[in-house]
Structures are given as structure tokens and as C-alpha cells.
Structure 1
């Protein structure tokens, strides 16, 4: 009789242990699934840089340097929307690092009317040295079929494109010269950053320079 009681007790203990293990495994599986989903969302969301253009206003161009930057960005594939008003831009030029934020007075939308010279738009005057604002960047809307981007709330939806515009001279007190190294990142509230990393060409032969 005693042996039977011990056997039954062992069976009950084993059953309880198995139940605990199954419950724990279920919790771990849920956590792993949640972590995987979060990781995928983080990797597939965020902001991407598509190209970077610079403007050299000097005559001849060889004598000058890039004074304006246009960093073209789009939402990453998994992102529903990105508010450029809440994005921060970090740039390092000539060993000096600046953190820039959006200035709503520096906004232009050419997504429907177009432009023959994106660097000649009057809104960029608000980034000039005379206006101050050395820690500001502006936004140029280039593709926005849903009209979702306005100066006070520049929200990019999936498929939209815009450029973050920086007055290099105003921010750093100098231009980006030939063969200069520039690094940085565009950081959204959520998701992946867009990485900036280029070396300026050895020679500037046109006013508009492809940098990245």
C-alpha cells in the first residue's frame, strides 16, 4: 500500500512538473515571437537615404565648396509614416559635430509644381547666416501624392519622398571642400536610422555635386 501511495505521489509530481514546463515553454515561445516581431518591425521600419546632393555657388566651382546639402529620404518599407518634424539630423564636418532639428519656416513643396533649381528656392533664405538658425534644417517635398506633408506637420507616408536641406556654411562656419569627409545620421522617432557617410569629390566641376 505504501509503495502504491509513493508511486501515485511520484506520478502527480511528474504531472505538475510537466505542466509547469509546458506553461514556461509557452511563455518563452510568446516572448520569442514578440521579440522577433518587434525586431522585424524595427529593422523594416525607419527612414532611408536615397541620395545626397550638394550645391557649390562659386565661380568657378573649383574655387568654392558645398554650401547647401539636400539629403533625400523616404520611409523604409515597413514604415507607415514618419514625421520629419520629429527627426534629428547629426552631421560631422571638419571634425565638428552638429545636431540639427526641423524649422517649420524652412519648407517648400515642389511635388506638384516642380522646380528648375531646387537650391534656388526662396525658403532656403531662412537658413542663411543672416537669419541665424545654425541648428535648423528645412524640408523640401518632392513626391507626395496624398498631400500629407505641410510645413507644420511634415509627415511622410509610404512612398513619399522629401529632402532634408542644410545650410552647411551657416551651421559649421565653413563649406564642404574637395575631398572632405562627412558623416552623420538621420534619426526618426522609431526604426532604423539613415546613415550619411561620404567623401566629397577631389574636383567640383559643376554647381550641383552628387555626394552620396
Structure 2
């Protein structure tokens, strides 16, 4: 019996058990660290997806709606100015017209316009001008209510003649595209064709576009 027990080394068996335990604990720690990394990564990806989704929504919803447009007849049977009445588009949050740009594209000119209302009372070749029609809370420049209405005025004569030779604005039949883009990227596109008949119109007379 004594010889039989000698075949088992209790010290060796204890060492093997401790080694297995150490390996097991190490595996648990690695798994915990990996799980933490996965949770953090999932949280980061979720936040990024939410930001991207909100940005996409803003580009679609945060924009203006053009209610009507008219032009002003110049001295050479052309359109010297374009005026648009704008409001918030349905579902849009507030739009700051001071941070809104208008891209003007005609057959001969491409120009990006910004708001000059704070410093100028008129539009020129690089600025549009804003005037109030209705404003519920006196926050002029910011469309934050569906009842707010502003007029946006664009000086086509200055844009079409950057050299200042006063040869006129947009002639009959000419087309112009206006892209109104808010700070968040929401864009409204307006395509206008000048009236075919301007003869007989007096200078300064408004005509529907």
C-alpha cells in the first residue's frame, strides 16, 4: 500500500491546479477587457450614426419655402431685381437668414450671395437684402415661426454686370437658378424664366416671375 501511494506526487498535482487557475483568471480578464472594448465601440458607433442621421434630417428639413417671386423692370426692358417672399418649410426648425447663402446661376454668371441686411439697406453683386413682412417675436433675420415672412431681394443688374457698365439685368426669356442653402445644409432650389414680353412696361414696375 505504501508503494502504491508513492506513485502519486501531491506537490506536482497542486502545481498543475494553480497553473490552470492562473490561465482561467487570465482568460476571464481578457474576455472582460474585450467586452469593454466592444461596448465602447458600439456606443461610439451608435452616437456617430445618430449624429449622421440628425445631420441628414437637418439637410432635408431645415430650409425655407419660396411663396412667390416677382421682378422689377429696368430701363432697358430687362429685369433689374428679383424679390422672393420666403417662410419656413413645413417641419423645419428655425433658419437664420444671416447664415444662409444663395447661389445665383444664369447663362453668364455664377455668384454666391450672403445677407447684407445688418450693414446695407440694398442688394449688390455679392449680397442679397432682407426685409420684414411679418415677424411674430421681433427676431428679425431668423425665421422661427410658420407665421414669419421675409422678402429676399437680389440685384440682377449688379450681378449680370460686375464691371458696372449698366447694360441691364436679365433679358426677356433668360433663365436663372437660385439655390438657397441654410447653415445646416438644407437647400431650396428656385428656377425662374424672365417674361417673354416686357415691352411697354415702365421702369420700376413689378412683374410676376
Give the TM-score normalised by the residue count of structure 2: 0.66
Would the alpha carbon gap of residues 26 and 86 (structure 1) be closer, same or farther in structure 2, given more than 3 Å must change?
closer
Moved over 6 A (4+): none
Q: Identify the residue that residue 135 of structure 1 maps to in structure 2.
A: 126
Q: Partners in 1 of 2:134 and 2:149 — Cα distance? A: 5
Q: Identify the residue that residue 69 of structure 1 maps to in structure 2.
A: 82
Q: Identify the residue that residue 94 of structure 2 maps to in structure 1.
A: 80
Are the counterparts in 1 of residues 71 and 206 from structure 2 also a CA contact under 8 Å? yes
- Which has more strand, going by share of residues? 1
* Count of aligned pairs between the two proteins: 178
1:66 CA displacement: 1.9
Which residue, out of 76, 100, 104, partners 1:91?
A: 104
Q: Identify the residue that residue 170 of structure 1 maps to in structure 2.
A: 158
Structure 2 counterpart SS, 1:170: helix
Q: Identify the residue that residue 182 of structure 1 maps to in structure 2.
A: 176
1:57 CA displacement: 5.5
CA RMSD for the aligned pairs?
A: 3.1
Give the TM-score normalised by the residue count of structure 1: 0.66
Higher relative contact order (CA 8 A, sep 6+): 1
Structure 1 counterpart SS, 2:79: coil
Cα deviations across residues 69-115 of structure 1 (Å, max 9, x unaligned)?
11222234332241x34433331233112333414442xxxxxxxxx
Would the alpha carbon gap of residues 15 and 45 (structure 1) be closer, same or farther in structure 2, given more than 3 Å must change?
same
Q: Identify the residue that residue 14 of structure 2 maps to in structure 1.
A: none
Q: Partners in 1 of 2:26 and 2:87 — Cα distance? A: 64
Unpaired runs of at least 5, structure 1: 107-125, 128-132
Q: Identify the residue that residue 38 of structure 1 maps to in structure 2.
A: 55
1:204 CA displacement: 5.1
Q: Partners in 2 of 1:3 and 1:86 — Cα distance? A: 66
Q: Identify the residue that residue 112 of structure 1 maps to in structure 2.
A: none
Asked if 1:25 corresponds to 2:42, the answer is yes
Unpaired runs of at least 5, structure 2: 1-16, 162-167
Structure 2 counterpart SS, 1:67: strand
1:165 CA displacement: 1.0
Q: Identify the residue that residue 135 of structure 2 maps to in structure 1.
A: 144
Q: Partners in 2 of 1:67 and 1:38 — Cα distance? A: 37
